[in-house]
């Protein structure tokens, strides 16, 4: 069995937050090279739940989706994982089930092959530039978290190069940050309050911290780069747009994606590969160090790109808002399918789409079942704008046969779930090389919430049905109770009137129930009552309804009856009682008095009047029994 249903090989990519810049560029590199080498690519992606454990558990279900045994290569991006234990779950599945080459990107995983940036050298050119081109000797360093591998390696390069140039390393010029947007201000405050002379340059271990350093310096009315030069690392989108634009080291993320695919391809061909491959970074000099090399055109290009992204984002947000409103209140899966089809078809960026639900998605109480979701239904989908629906297939194939193509494909798969409960997943293939729908996470939540609404609605209906059943059934015997006489009994009466057939009413009253209760106990009285109920059900072979009216009183109603059919009913009922009395180990027998009545009802006939006639006959029999005993 081949993943994505074709004979060509497939690379699985385990990556989170695909709508982020690093993930976008990495994925584009992977797709570009994979298509060139005739590989399919299946991206398995997820989003974080912002600390909501139940939601995070549902997102982590993505680790159970890949068919690990059939993948021909795996690329894992552990630095993108935001969910706790996600990396562990992926690695456990890989180590137990996969037989293919595995390549980790950007972070070294010792048990796999790796495509890495050499963090010992990533800032070398920038630090040398500060010393050799600018002549600086007072250079501060904003590191990442202490003991964090990337941070420590970049800090080690700073120490090494300063030592090589015989510049004293002053520990107070080093500050440990957070690799995010919060440490820049506290670092600047620390250095401004320091007894050391102000720095000539601040080298930051990543761009996020560098941008906040620039903002913090502005509050101190310190000009960048005129008074203090600031540099970063990573070349995030904002680095070129910022004023001043940021000198930084560009991560060759696109090239890392290409190399990860090439590494898998060479290994599949039997070519020996080094465990670690390093991709060289590119230093980009911009305004923040005073070296304005091509910064204006680059910044203008990025600004134009941001305008397009912002417009697309605004449209996507509006689109999602309308979709959320349209899905709200829907209680049928078919209605949801129709709405999703409408909204998906309007997205011209997709060539292939599938919304796949496990067959038991609405009954998720068996979530511990190891085989859950293995049998899927594609509810909504299209291939090259041609629609398909209600297609059965195995989860191991990821997409149904009808969506297969005889060319390399790149699909993105994401889980549909409500909190920790797995409904299914969506698969998307784009017309051009791109990696996400804007606001994709919100889109998935809209669909998942709509599915949960349908599930809850169906479950409430089932509960209501059960409650209705409970309300018209007798707890002890399981027969209908007196309340059912006003519903089901009247339906039978109406059917007889419409079909002009005879209605049968049979009543029975236990003999000597009080004697059994008084002498043997109420538990034995309950046994006797159950024997009567079971005997009545044994006799009911033609859709008769059997009722415990209360206490020791029973009733049966049948339609389309005649004298012969009535005699057989009574005969079977008494035979069943006699069998119990013959073989019982109890010190008592079970006997009844009964009466029956056949009537051609009309619109004026009531169940109560029919019951009254049968009761009179039953009491007459009971009276005769009592008379004989005297």
CA-nearest of 420, 415, 413, 399 to 447 is 415
Per the model's pLDDT, the better-predicted residue between 440 and 569 turns out to be 569
Q: What is the mean pLDDT of the chain?
A: 88
If asked whether residues 401 and 514 sit together in one domain, one would say no
Give the whole-angstrom CA distance, residue 352 versus residue 410: 10
pLDDT tens-digit series, residues 58-72? 999 999 999 999 999
pLDDT tens-digit series, residues 321-350? 767 777 787 788 898 888 888 877 776 678
The answer as to whether 275 is a domain residue is: no
If asked whether residues 129 and 111 sit together in one domain, one would say no
Distances in Å between the alpha carbon of 443 and those of 23, 160, 414, 449, 539? 19, 49, 11, 10, 58
pLDDT tens-digit series, residues 359-390? 888 876 554 444 444 789 999 999 987 889 99
Among 277-281, 515-519, 563-567, 582-586, name the one with the lowest average pLDDT: 582-586
If asked whether residues 146 and 97 sit together in one domain, one would say no
Please state whether 178 falls in left (phi above 0), alpha (psi between -120 and 50) or beta.
alpha
The answer as to whether 455 is a domain residue is: no
Residue 223 has pLDDT above 70, yes or no: yes
CATH number, domain with residue 561: 3.30.70.270
pTM for the complete prediction? Answer: 0.74
CATH number, domain with residue 217: 3.40.50.2300
If asked whether residues 99 and 162 sit together in one domain, one would say no
Residue ending a domain, among 420, 445, 470, is: 445
Among 238-252, 253-267, 290-304, 340-354, name the one with the lowest average pLDDT: 290-304
If asked whether residues 343 and 485 sit together in one domain, one would say no
Q: Strand locations in 501-608, DSSP E?
A: 503-510, 545-550, 553-559, 592-599
Backbone φ and ψ for 514, nearest 5 degrees, come out as: -60, -40
If asked whether residues 158 and 289 sit together in one domain, one would say yes
Residue ending a domain, among 445, 461, 491, is: 445
If asked whether residues 496 and 605 sit together in one domain, one would say yes
pLDDT tens-digit series, residues 115-170? 999 999 999 999 999 999 999 999 999 999 988 888 899 999 999 999 999 999 99
Q: How many domains does the chain have?
A: 3
If asked whether residues 605 and 531 sit together in one domain, one would say yes
Per the model's pLDDT, the better-predicted residue between 256 and 374 turns out to be 256
If asked whether residues 503 and 621 sit together in one domain, one would say yes
The whole domain housing 154 covers: 124-250+285-297
Kindly give the interhelix angle for 563-583 and 522-539, rounded to the nearest 10 degrees. Answer: 140
pLDDT at 20 (0 to 100): 83
- Over residues 192-212, the mean pLDDT reads 95
Among 130-144, 202-216, 231-245, name the one with the lowest average pLDDT: 231-245
pLDDT at 313 (0 to 100): 61
Using pLDDT thresholds of 50, 70 and 90, give the confidence band for residue 436: low
What does the block give as tokens for 34? 């994979």
Per the model's pLDDT, the better-predicted residue between 128 and 54 turns out to be 128
Residue 542 has pLDDT above 80, yes or no: yes
Using pLDDT thresholds of 50, 70 and 90, give the confidence band for residue 102: very high
Using pLDDT thresholds of 50, 70 and 90, give the confidence band for residue 564: very high
pLDDT at 4 (0 to 100): 77
Residue 457 has pLDDT above 60, yes or no: yes
pLDDT at 162 (0 to 100): 97
What does the block give as tokens for 600? 């051609």
If asked whether residues 197 and 240 sit together in one domain, one would say yes
pLDDT at 1 (0 to 100): 52
């Amino acid at each position: 069995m081949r993943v994505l249903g074709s004979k060509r090989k497939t690379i699985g990519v385990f990556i989170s937050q695909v709508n982020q810049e690093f993930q976008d560029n990495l994925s584009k590199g992977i797709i570009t090279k994979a298509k060139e080498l005739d590989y399919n690519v299946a991206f398995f992606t997820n989003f974080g739940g912002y600390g909501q454990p139940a939601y995070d558990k549902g997102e982590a279900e993505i680790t159970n989706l890949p068919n690990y045994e059939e993948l021909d290569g795996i690329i894992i991006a552990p630095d993108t994982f935001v969910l706790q234990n996600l990396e562990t779950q992926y690695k456990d599945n890989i180590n137990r089930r996969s037989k293919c080459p595995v390549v980790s990107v950007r972070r070294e995983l010792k048990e796999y092959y790796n495509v890495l940036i050499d963090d010992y050298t990533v800032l070398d050119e920038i630090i040398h530039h500060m010393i050799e081109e600018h002549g600086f000797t007072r250079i501060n360093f904003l590191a990442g978290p202490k003991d964090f591998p990337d941070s420590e390696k970049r800090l080690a390069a700073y120490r090494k190069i300063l030592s090589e140039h015989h510049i004293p390393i002053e520990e107070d010029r080093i500050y440990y940050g957070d690799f995010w947007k919060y440490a820049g201000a506290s670092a600047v405050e620390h250095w401004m309050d320091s007894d050391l002379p102000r720095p000539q340059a601040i080298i930051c271990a990543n761009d996020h911290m560098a941008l906040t350093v620039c903002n913090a310096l502005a509050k101190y009315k310190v000009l960048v780069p005129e008074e203090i030069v600031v540099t970063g690392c990573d070349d995030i989108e904002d680095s070129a747009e910022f004023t001043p634009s940021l000198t930084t080291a560009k991560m060759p993320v696109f090239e890392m994606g290409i190399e990860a695919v090439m590494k898998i391809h060479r290994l599949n061909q039997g070519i020996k590969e080094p465990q670690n491959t390093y991709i060289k970074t590119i230093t980009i000099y911009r305004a923040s160090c005073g070296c304005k090399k091509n910064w204006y055109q680059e910044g203008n290009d990025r600004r134009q790109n941001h305008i397009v992204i912002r417009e697309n984002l605004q449209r996507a947000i509006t689109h999602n808002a309308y979709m959320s409103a349209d899905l709200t209140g829907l209680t049928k899966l078919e209605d949801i399918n129709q709405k999703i089809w409408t909204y998906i078809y309007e997205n011209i960026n997709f060539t292939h789409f599938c919304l796949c639900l496990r067959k038991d998605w609405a009954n998720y109480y068996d979530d511990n079942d190891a085989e859950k979701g293995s049998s899927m239904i594609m509810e909504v989908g299209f291939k090259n704008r041609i629609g398909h629906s209600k297609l059965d297939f195995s989860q191991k194939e990821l997409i149904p046969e009808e969506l297969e193509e005889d060319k390399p494909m790149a699909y993105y798969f994401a889980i549909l779930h409500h909190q920790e409960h797995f409904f299914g997943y969506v698969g998307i293939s784009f017309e051009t090389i791109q990696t996400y729908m804007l606001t994709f996470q919100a889109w998935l939540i809209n669909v998942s919430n709509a599915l949960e609404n349908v599930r809850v609605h169906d479950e409430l209906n089932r509960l209501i049905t059960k409650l209705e059943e409970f309300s018209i059934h007798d707890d002890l015997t399981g027969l209908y109770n007196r309340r059912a006489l006003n519903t089901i009994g009247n339906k039978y009466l109406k059917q007889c009137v419409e079909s002009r057939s005879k209605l049968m009413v049979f009543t029975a009253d236990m003999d000597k129930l009080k004697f059994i209760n008084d002498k043997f106990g109420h538990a034995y009285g309950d046994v006797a009552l159950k024997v009567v109920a079971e005997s009545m059900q044994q006799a009911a072979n033609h859709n008769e309804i059997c009722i415990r009216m209360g206490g020791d009183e029973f009733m049966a109603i049948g339609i389309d009856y005649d004298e012969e059919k009535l005699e057989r009913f009574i005969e079977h009922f008494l035979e069943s009682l006699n069998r119990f009395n013959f073989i019982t180990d109890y010190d008592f027998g079970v006997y009844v008095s009964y009466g029956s009545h056949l009537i051609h009802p009309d619109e004026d006939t009531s169940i109560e009047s029919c019951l009254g006639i049968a009761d009179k006959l039953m009491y007459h029999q009971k009276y005769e029994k009592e008379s004989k005993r005297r």
